[in-house]
């Protein structure tokens, strides 16, 4: 039995009132915020998400297909020998039957194989789903399958508890010599986990099946189904941008496995399955069009990452690059072109005559070196000539920048230790600007605190999340140049984790979030419109040094940022305590006319948590709490804070007179 710990509704203690005169001189930790000192306009799109096919995030995840290997194509990677095509992967025999893959009469040329079942009465095949198969009582489901053959009675379909009763069933009839797509809808009579989907020839015979699908009939989405509980997690993040579809998934181990968006359009049965470099098969149930619909659902601007003619192991010859460059141009036309254009008409036929308004396209993923430089130039020249308003994102990898052509935005990736994020990371873009090295926009497209020595690294630790929070303050402080960011990876199914940590973990019927997710959610919900000048004097806290990455042996315990929101009516101050002990601090507000209103968000609210604490499917150890109150003395402008160990606090303070963008105090 699963034991659940609900999110605690714990009220945080109210902020202390006045600090006596002279306390600043005695206080070790000081935060000074000048409400009249507007440094820059903050990026409105700073906090976003990156959706990649990794760890079962899309196939068997966001795409709520319950059948694993629905088109019977899965085999060992790289193996195409007919002799290996016996019983299809992820399917099992039921009763007295034999089954093998068959390629004599495919439903679609895109996918070569179907399954042939020779059964005695009651025999057939069963599927156990993507890491499990669960139904929920009262929910309607839709089953579809292409079926043909010669049997003496209809083929029966049922969903059964493993070794138990059926919770749903129907008859697929009639079965003839030609392929026929059969569809049935049913309502689950009971909730059940560990189910299997079974197809039986009641009276025996031979039947063939292909493109089997079982999904909730009312899954979230317009024109495509998305898994509802995972979508609710994404909605909570309120992302402004969404990068897709990868990641290394875009490149592939070889160009044969590289992502080609045109292959993912049209009916699902006409979309070939693809081997994912993260060691599993992907079905393209969510293709290019559906990714764009997902952006619309989330109200997030799309950033499409196109293959740069490069994979992990081979590259497209330069004299063969025209096709790949044209793919990028056609993708933009698909997104933005009128309905009478070639690819705009394909979009309209798919049910979306309105343009998707793609503003950003990234050339490659983590590509670098001479080979990337010369290929990038081809894309840049072609896109700039035909679509001058589309912003071009270039890769930065292994400290290597594109030299052949300019770029509008650079994609930086950081997978470093928590100590790096707390020390070097939170000052990274301050230092870059100070050296005059930023004359373009920055997209921090992938980042996460990773420490292989931490015992709880798999699910993401509290200390890792707080380290990321310190780094995020550096992004926010420099959001005149840091335009977008997305922590990664976003999603992972527990039985196919390929990278760690992730933001959201899920099973066939459940999910839980990491502390990093909560930090992302809190930052996104408390955005600022203008960055204010702030000064922090902090005691030091010990960290693990690393000479290779310039990590010292100590760093500031307190990191803080301030900004204006709500048209200057709200002062937002974010404070991170990187120390593993409670810390007191004094905050001084200059040029602020306070309304007296105060909202305080504390994460985590629980006491006694340690650096390696993490959430799991069975327990949630770290939660946030929000409290509201009044500031007792609005004239002082001095407040005292008591910060929990390894914590993030957000203070939303009402202003009677906001701060205008030009730095003046607005009455």
Q: Average pLDDT, stretch 91-96?
A: 95
pLDDT at 422: 98
Lowest mean pLDDT among 234-243, 295-304, 441-450, 455-464: 455-464
3-state secondary structure 614-663: CCCCCCCCCCCEEEEEECCCCCCCEEEEEECCCEEEEEEEEEEECECCCC
**Strands 570-577, 583-590: parallel, antiparallel or unpaired by DSSP?**
unpaired
Residue 345 DSSP symbol: H
Name the nearest CA neighbour of 395 among 379, 414, 378, 410. 410
- Residue range 603-631, pLDDT digits in tens: 999 999 999 999 999 999 999 999 998 88
Query: Distance (Å, rounded) from C-alpha 80 to C-alpha 68?
Result: 19
pLDDT of residue 172: 83
Please report, for residues 67, 279, 316, 580, 600, the alpha-carbon distance to residue 60 in angstroms, rounded to integers and kept in the order given.
8, 14, 31, 39, 39
**On the CB side of 272, how many CA atoms lie within 13 Å of its CA?**
15
User: How sure is the predictor about 82, in pLDDT bands with cuts at 50, 70 and 90?
Assistant: very low
Closest alpha carbon to 595 in 623, 621, 624, 566: 566
pLDDT of 663 higher than 50? no
Q: What percent of the chain has a predicted confidence (pLDDT) above 70?
A: 91
Rounded to 10°, the helix 342-349/322-336 angle is 50
Q: What SS3 class is residue 482?
A: strand
Closest CA to 638 of 15, 37, 39: 15
* Sign of the alpha-carbon torsion through 320, 323, 325, 326: positive
Query: Do the bridges between strand 274-276 and strand 280-282 make them parallel or antiparallel, or are there none, so unpaired?
Result: antiparallel
Q: Cα–Cα distances in Å, from 132 out to 70, 494, 509?
A: 14, 11, 8
Given a cut of 60, is residue 41 above it in pLDDT?
Answer: yes
Which tokens hold the place of 600?
A: 């305080």
- pLDDT the model gives residue 560: 98
CATH code that applies to domain 82-216: 2.60.120.260
Residue 578's pLDDT band, with cuts at 50, 70 and 90, is very high
648 pLDDT above the threshold of 90: yes
What pLDDT shows up at residue 638?
A: 86
Q: How confident is the model at residue 25 (pLDDT cuts 50, 70, 90)?
A: very low
- Nearest-CA neighbor of 303 among 443, 487, 502? 443
Confidence of residue 455 (pLDDT cuts 50, 70, 90): low
Q: Which of 41-50, 251-260, 269-278, 629-638 has the lowest mean pLDDT?
A: 629-638
Class of 23-41+529-657 in CATH: mainly beta
3-state DSSP assignment of residue 613: coil
Please tell me whether residue 484 adopts helix, strand or coil conformation: strand
Q: Which of 69-83, 121-135, 178-192, 500-514 has the lowest mean pLDDT?
A: 69-83
Pick from 13-27, 339-353, 452-466, 638-652: least confident = 13-27
Higher pLDDT, residue 161 or 503: 503
- Euclidean distance between CA atoms 273 and 579, whole angstroms: 48
A 10 A CB-CB count for 340 gives 8
Structural contact between residues 34 and 175, judged by C-beta atoms closer than 8 angstroms: no
Q: When comparing pLDDT for 453 and 194, which is higher?
A: 194
Q: What's the pLDDT score for residue 440?
A: 94
Q: How many CA atoms lie within 13 A of 593 on its CB side?
A: 10
Contacts of residue 309, defined as CB under 8 A and 6 or more positions apart, other chains included, come to 255, 315, 316, 321, 324, 375
Residue for token digits 């390696």? 612
What would the mean pLDDT of 253-271 be, rounded to a whole number? 95
Whether 168 has a pLDDT exceeding 90, the answer reads no
46-57 confidence digits (pLDDT tens)? 999 999 999 999
Where is 305: in which H helix or E strand? strand 301-306
What is the Cα Rg of the chain in Å? 28
Return d(Cα 153, Cα 555) in angstroms, integer. 74
Query: What's phi and psi for 26, nearest 5 deg?
Result: -95, -20
Contact between 114 and 100 (Cβ < 8 Å): no
Per CATH, is 49-63+220-525 categorized as 3.20.20.80? yes
Residues linked to residue 537 through DSSP beta bridges, in sequence order: 30
Q: How far is CA 495 from CA 57, 132, 492, 506, in A?
A: 11, 9, 8, 9
8 pLDDT higher than 70: no
Sign of CA dihedral 622, 626, 631, 632: negative
Domain ranges of the chain: 23-41+529-657, 49-63+220-525, 82-216
- Confidence band of 195 (pLDDT split at 50, 70, 90): very high
* Average pLDDT value for the chain: 90
Q: What is the DSSP secondary-structure string of 377-420?
A: HHHHHHHHHH-TTSEEEEE-BTTB---SS--SEEEEEEEE-HHH
């Amino acid at each position: 039995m699963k034991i659940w710990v609900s999110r605690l509704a714990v009220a945080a203690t109210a902020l202390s009132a006045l600090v006596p005169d002279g306390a600043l001189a005695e206080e070790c930790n000081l935060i000074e915020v000048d409400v009249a000192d507007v440094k820059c306009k903050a990026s409105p799109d700073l906090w976003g998400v990156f959706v990649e096919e990794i760890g079962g995030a899309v196939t068997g995840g966001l795409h709520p297909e319950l059948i694993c290997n629905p088109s019977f194509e899965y085999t060992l990677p790289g193996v195409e020998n007919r002799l290996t095509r016996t019983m299809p992967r992820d399917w099992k025999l039921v009763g007295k039957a034999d089954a093998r893959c068959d390629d004599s009469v495919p439903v679609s040329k895109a996918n070569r194989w179907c399954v042939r079942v020779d059964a005695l009465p009651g025999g057939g095949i069963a599927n156990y789903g993507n890491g499990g198969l669960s139904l929920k009582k009262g929910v309607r489901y839709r089953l579809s399958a292409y079926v043909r053959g010669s049997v003496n009675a209809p083929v029966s379909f049922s969903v059964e508890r493993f070794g138990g009763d059926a919770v749903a069933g129907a008859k697929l009839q009639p079965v003839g010599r030609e392929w026929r797509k059969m569809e049935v809808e049913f309502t689950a009579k009971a909730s059940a986990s560990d189910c299997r989907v079974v197809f039986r020839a009641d009276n025996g015979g031979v039947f063939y099946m292909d493109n089997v699908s079982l999904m909730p009939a009312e899954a979230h989405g317009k024109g495509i189904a998305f898994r509802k509980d995972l979508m609710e997690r994404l909605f909570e993040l309120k992302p402004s941008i969404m990068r897709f579809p990868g990641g290394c998934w875009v490149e592939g181990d070889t160009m044969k496995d590289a992502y080609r968006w045109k292959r993912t359009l049209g009916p699902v049965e006409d979309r070939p399955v693809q081997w994912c470099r993260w060691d599993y098969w992907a079905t393209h149930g969510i293709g290019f069009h559906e990714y764009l619909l997902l952006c619309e659902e989330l109200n997030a601007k799309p950033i499409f990452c196109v293959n740069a003619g490069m994979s992990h192991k081979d590259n497209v010859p330069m004299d063969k690059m025209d096709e790949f460059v044209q793919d990028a141009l056609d993708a933009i036309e698909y997104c933005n072109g009128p309905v009478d254009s070639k690819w705009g008409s394909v979009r309209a036929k798919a049910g979306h005559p309105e343009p998707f308004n793609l503003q950003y396209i990234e050339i490659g993923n983590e590509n670098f070196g001479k080979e990337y430089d010369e290929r990038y130039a081809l894309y840049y020249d072609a896109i700039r000539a035909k679509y001058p308003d589309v912003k071009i994102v270039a890769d930065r990898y292994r400290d290597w920048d594109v030299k052949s052509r300019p770029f509008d935005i650079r994609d930086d990736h950081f997978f470093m230790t928590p100590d790096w994020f707390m020390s070097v990371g939170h000052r990274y873009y301050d230092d870059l600007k100070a050296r005059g090295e930023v004359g373009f926009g920055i997209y921090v497209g992938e980042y996460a605190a990773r420490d292989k020595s931490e015992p709880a690294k798999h699910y993401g630790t509290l200390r890792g999340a707080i380290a990321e929070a310190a780094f995020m303050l550096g992004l926010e402080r420099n959001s005149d140049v840091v335009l977008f960011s997305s922590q990664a990876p976003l999603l992972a199914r527990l039985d196919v984790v390929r990278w760690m940590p992730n933001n959201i973990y899920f099973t066939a019927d459940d999910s839980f979030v990491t502390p990093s997710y909560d930090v992302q959610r809190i930052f996104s919900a408390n955005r600022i419109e203008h960055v204010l000048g702030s000064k922090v004097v902090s005691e030091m806290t010990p960290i693990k040094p690393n000479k290779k990455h310039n990590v010292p042996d100590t760093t500031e315990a307190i990191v803080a940022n301030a900004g204006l929101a709500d048209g200057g009516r709200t002062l937002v101050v974010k404070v991170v305590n990187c120390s593993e002990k409670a810390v007191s601090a004094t905050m001084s507000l200059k040029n602020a006319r306070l309304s007296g209103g105060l909202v305080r968000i504390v994460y985590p609210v629980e006491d006694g948590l340690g650096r390696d604490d993490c959430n799991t499917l069975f327990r949630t150890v770290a939660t946030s709490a929000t409290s509201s109150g009044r500031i007792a003395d609005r004239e002082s402008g001095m407040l005292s804070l008591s910060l929990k160990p390894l914590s993030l606090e957000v203070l939303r303070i009402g202003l009677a007179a906001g701060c205008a963008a030009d730095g003046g105090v607005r009455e």
